[in-house]
Amino acid sequence: MSSLVGFVFNTELSLIITIVTSFVLSLILLLIKVPNTDYSRKISKAKNTMAVCFLVCTVLMIMTFRYSGIANYDTFASLMMFVVTAISSAILSYSLINVLEDNFIDNDKFFLNVGLVAVLSFVVVSSFFWDPSWYRTMLLTSSVVLFLIQCTIHILLFHKVYKKSVKKIEQYYDEDEDRRIRWIRFCYVIMMLTQVFILVYMLLPRGFMKIYILWYAVFLIYFSANFISFLGSHKIMLDAFAYKALSGQDLMRRIDENRRKKLASRRKSDQNDEVSLPEYTASEFAKLQKSIERWVKDKKYKEYDRTRDEIALELHTSKEILHLYFTTKIGVDFRTWRTNLRVEEAKRLLLENKDASINIIAEASGFSDKSNFHRQFVKIVGCSPKQWRESDGKPDL
């Protein structure tokens, strides 16, 4: 019985499970086809990079399994898993960052990073066969420090590109839409915790490494499942990332160009037409104001997952004119103005439908995300939706 338990809970079996898992997932990723377009090319690149990473992990773990008969095998397995995490953290970080923004990390820097890790990993694994000495200890200590530095740099880069990507999505949808890429941040956190935790397991007594190896298989499945799920709905994000939000100076330049083109066209048809830019703007704003009044009356502000282009088209204007109207005439941007309308609608619905759940009220008001609804409600009203309902709209009393 004890021998059976020892077989079930040994390092070799854990390695076999993780090897099979890694290899199968790499094949699945390689076989998945992503439409070959300009905007989806980076997704395909990230997918293939992940598949190669899993194949590299498979090869390294097979090498680990082949040496299962040597003395101090658990120590050797720990060193090999340290190498696996060092290489995979570099490659997977590059892949996830590449999903958010292509070429944010230069290919040359990426290959240099992976190359240096590979060389150092070879030296670290070779040191296992050296006689114990101070330079072996120094090598391992230096490797751990460099590994932590690498993880820190990648975390900072990911944080920077993630914030930039959230801003792009919000500019495109005029919503707080970070939920669309929240899974990437969560997967990245799980990945980094998994990679860094190898250092903890290396310090634990012999026998604990098999637990980490099994956990690594679970991590690979979770990571791949999220990415494969994303591949089925990546168009939403690609649309936003393909859209380049204009800065204030570029915006005014585009607006002036559009105005001049329209004025030039009018002058060609009627040489006596002396419409100036201010007159043109006033005319556009007057028409837009009527469109907005109808839009509000029809409660179109409750519709979510609408892009700025779609809303501008519905209002018979351009996104540049729409932006200019709200910043110059209303004093706030379109998203803030629409959020206020949604919160006012939610305030009314909360009092009129006290049996309805807050989630239903949030969606009926135009909020697709409950946490965002709660955050915006508290920010604008000064109390939570629950407090507003329970106080009959008088939270200060």
Please give the Cα distance from 192 to 154 (Å, whole number).
Answer: 9
Q: State which of 242, 274, 297 marks the end of a domain.
A: 242
Q: Tell me, what's the pLDDT at 334?
A: 85
- Whether residues 103 and 147 fall in one domain: yes
The continuous run of DSSP H or E covering 349 comes out as helix 334-352
pLDDT at 313: 86
> Are 347 and 364 in contact, with CB atoms under 8 Å apart?
no
Q: Are residues 102 and 233 in the same domain?
A: yes
Blockwise average pLDDT, block size 10, the chain, 397 residues: 48 89 93 72 84 93 87 85 91 87 78 89 84 79 91 92 80 60 86 88 78 91 88 55 44 53 53 52 83 89 78 84 84 86 90 87 84 85 88 78
Checking phi first, is residue 148 left (phi over 0); if not, alpha (psi -120 to 50) or beta?
Answer: alpha
Residues 284 and 173 in one domain: no
How far apart (Å, rounded) are the C-alpha atoms in residues 200 and 208? 10
Q: Are residues 195 and 267 in the same domain?
A: no
pLDDT score, position 21: 94
The number of CA neighbours under 13 Å toward the Cβ of 396 is: 2
- The Cα–Cα gap between 28 and 212 comes to 24
Count of structural domains within the chain: 2
397 falls within a domain: no
Answer yes or no: is 396 within a domain: no
Q: Are 208 and 193 spatial neighbours (Cβ–Cβ below 8 Å)?
A: no
Could you tell me if residue 39 is inside a domain?
Answer: yes
Helix (H) or strand (E) holding 171: helix 134-173
195/299 same-domain check:
no
Q: Is residue 337 in a domain? A: yes
124 and 138 both lie in a single domain: yes
How far apart are alpha carbons 295 and 284 in whole angstroms?
Answer: 16
Domain that holds residue 263: 248-390
What angle is formed at CA 367 by the lines to CA 312 and CA 348, rounded to 5 degrees?
105
End residue of a domain, out of 209, 227, 242: 242
Query: Which candidate, 141, 133, 13, places its Cα nearest to that of 77?
Result: 13
Sequence-distant (6+) residues with CB within 8 A of 16 are 65
Q: Are residues 87 and 161 in the same domain?
A: yes
How far is Cα 225 from Cα 320, in angstroms, rounded to an integer? 39
Same domain flag for 196 and 292: no
Separation between Cα atoms, residue 19 and residue 374, nearest integer Å: 44
- Per-residue b or e along 251-279, where b marks 16 or more CB atoms closer than 10 Å to that residue's CB: beeebeeebeeebeeeeeeeeeeeeeeee
Residues 287, 378: Cα–Cα separation, whole Å: 34
* Pair 323, 345 in one domain: yes
Q: In CATH, what number is assigned to the domain containing residue 359?
A: 1.10.10.60
Determine how many CB atoms are found less than 10 A away from the CB of residue 173: 23
395 inside domain: no
Contact at 8 Å (CB) between 157 and 94? Answer: no
Residue 171 and residue 282 in one domain: no
The CATH number of whichever domain residue 7 belongs to comes to 1.20.1070
* CB 39, CB 237: distance < 8 Å: no
Instruction: With beta carbons less than 8 A apart as the criterion, state whether 45 and 103 touch.
Output: no
Q: List, as one string, the DSSP characters of 328-341.
A: IIISS-HHHHHHHH
Residue 200 lies in a domain: yes
- Model pLDDT, residue 5: 42
pLDDT computed for residue 221 by the predictor: 94
Q: Are 281 and 260 in contact (CB under 8 A)?
A: no
CA angle 359-179-369, nearest 5°? 15
Query: Distance between alpha carbon 152 and the CA centroid of its chain, in Å?
Result: 18
Q: How far apart are CA 372 and CA 396, in angstroms?
A: 23
Q: Which of 51, 101, 21 is nearest to 227 (CA)?
A: 51
Can you tell me the distance from the alpha carbon of 117 to that of 146, in angstroms, rounded to the nearest whole number? Answer: 9
Distances in Å between the Cα of 272 and the Cα atoms of 269, 275, 394 are 9, 9, 60
Final residue before a domain boundary, out of 242, 267, 283: 242
Are 233 and 252 in the same domain? Answer: no
Do both 318 and 348 map to the same domain?
yes
Is the residue at 367 inside a domain? yes
Please report whether residue 364 resides in a domain. yes
Distances, alpha carbon 10 to alpha carbons 166, 234, 286, 329, 332, in Å: 44, 40, 76, 71, 63
